[in-house]
């Protein structure tokens, strides 16, 4: 099996951390969804006009391209949780593909990820791309993280190391950070630390890592550190260690 670009540049602990963002909650994974019912989502996603175009373009470039003025002003009509989508798949599928409800599309993408055999990986990415195009930045960050983390033969954008691809990822993470998504800030910070898709900028990387933790504050109870903040703290530790060992001009070299 090919090693993903994300796996090549990150230690195992950090891959686990980003996996927590993309993965579903444990209860949803444990219960899963009937593969036959998931086929309903697959069929409905196949009816979305120009889906291939969405999949060929950078998440940052498709954001809000299919969001109506009404949705931009008042948001989607009805909010969907993943568990609700799993239990009402046909209704959720219609809400996503017919009503273009970004909340339903995001929930559908997460439900499709529950198939442990990975039969619906492409369709999950499609739903995240549609979510992004409908104006929900969490769809953009999941789409971008999938491109970086998990190469998929049927997804032509995945696991590319070209300058354009790295710029795409950086722009997509920056977009999500600007929209208040903690994982967007954490991953944009990593891009700034490594010089992916642009120059190395340790100062800006620190700012993004700090914002990731600030955005995650209050999302978990007690003393639990949110996954995005934990990832950011690990990245900040790596940055500090390298700064102690190497001159600043070498910090972007792997």
- Helix, strand, or coil (residue 190): helix
Residue owning tokens 């949803």: 28
Model pTM?
A: 0.82
Q: What is the structure's pLDDT at 117? A: 84
Domain span at 223:
163-243
Q: Is the pLDDT of residue 141 over 70?
A: yes
**Total structural domains within the chain:** 2
What integer is the mean pLDDT of 127-140?
A: 97
Same domain for 141 and 171, yes or no, is: no
Measured in degrees and rounded to the nearest 5, phi and psi for residue 88 equal -130, 60
In the DSSP assignment, the letter for residue 221 is -
Q: Is residue 248 part of a domain?
A: no
Q: What is the structure's pLDDT at 49? A: 95
Q: Is the pLDDT of residue 26 over 60?
A: no
Picking from 95, 120, 149, the residue at the C-terminal end of a domain is 149
Q: Is the pLDDT of residue 17 over 60?
A: no
Compute the 3-state secondary structure of the chain and give helix, strand, coil in percent, each to the nearest 5.
65, 0, 35
Q: Give the Cα separation of 213 and 226 in Å (integer).
A: 8
CB 165 within 8 A of CB 148: no
- Helix, strand, or coil (residue 134): coil
Same domain for 106 and 167, yes or no, is: no
Q: Is residue 234 part of a domain?
A: yes
Same domain for 62 and 99, yes or no, is: yes
pLDDT single digits (tens) 62-79? 999 999 888 888 878 889
Same domain for 25 and 88, yes or no, is: yes
Split at pLDDT 50, 70, 90, the class of 251 is low
Same domain for 132 and 184, yes or no, is: no
Same domain for 167 and 91, yes or no, is: no
Split at pLDDT 50, 70, 90, the class of 218 is low
Picking from 102, 125, 149, the residue at the C-terminal end of a domain is 149
Q: Give the Cα separation of 166 and 115 in Å (integer).
A: 29
pLDDT single digits (tens) 158-180? 877 889 999 999 999 999 999 99
Same domain for 138 and 176, yes or no, is: no
Same domain for 17 and 140, yes or no, is: yes
CB 132 within 8 A of CB 139: yes
CB 208 within 8 A of CB 186: yes
Same domain for 83 and 18, yes or no, is: yes
Q: Is the pLDDT of residue 11 over 50?
A: no
Q: What is the structure's pLDDT at 3? A: 40
Picking from 149, 184, 201, the residue at the C-terminal end of a domain is 149
Same domain for 41 and 79, yes or no, is: yes
CB 213 within 8 A of CB 160: no
């Amino acid at each position: 099996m090919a090693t993903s670009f994300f796996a090549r540049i990150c230690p195992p602990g950090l891959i686990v951390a980003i996996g927590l963002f993309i993965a579903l909650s444990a209860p949803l994974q444990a219960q899963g969804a009937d593969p036959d019912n998931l086929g309903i989502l697959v069929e409905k996603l196949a009816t979305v006009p120009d889906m291939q175009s969405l999949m060929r373009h950078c998440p940052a470039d498709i954001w809000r391209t299919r969001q109506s003025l009404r949705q931009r002003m008042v948001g989607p009509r009805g909010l969907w949780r993943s568990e609700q989508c799993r239990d009402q798949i046909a209704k959720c599928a219609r809400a996503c593909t017919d009503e273009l409800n970004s909340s339903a599309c995001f929930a559908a993408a997460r439900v499709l990820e529950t198939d442990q055999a990975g039969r619906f990986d492409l369709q999950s990415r499609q739903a995240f791309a549609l979510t992004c195009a409908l104006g929900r930045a969490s769809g953009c960050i999941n789409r971008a993280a999938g491109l970086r983390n998990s190469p998929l033969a049927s997804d032509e954008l995945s696991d590319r190391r070209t300058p354009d691809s790295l710029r795409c990822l950086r722009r997509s993470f920056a977009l999500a950070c600007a929209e208040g998504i903690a994982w967007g800030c954490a991953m944009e910070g990593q891009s700034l630390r490594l010089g992916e898709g642009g120059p190395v900028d340790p100062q800006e990387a620190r700012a993004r890592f700090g914002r990731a933790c600030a955005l995650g504050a209050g999302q978990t109870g007690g003393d639990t550190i949110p996954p995005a903040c934990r990832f950011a703290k690990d990245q900040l530790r790596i940055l500090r260690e390298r700064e102690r060992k190497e001159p600043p001009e070498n910090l972007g070299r792997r």
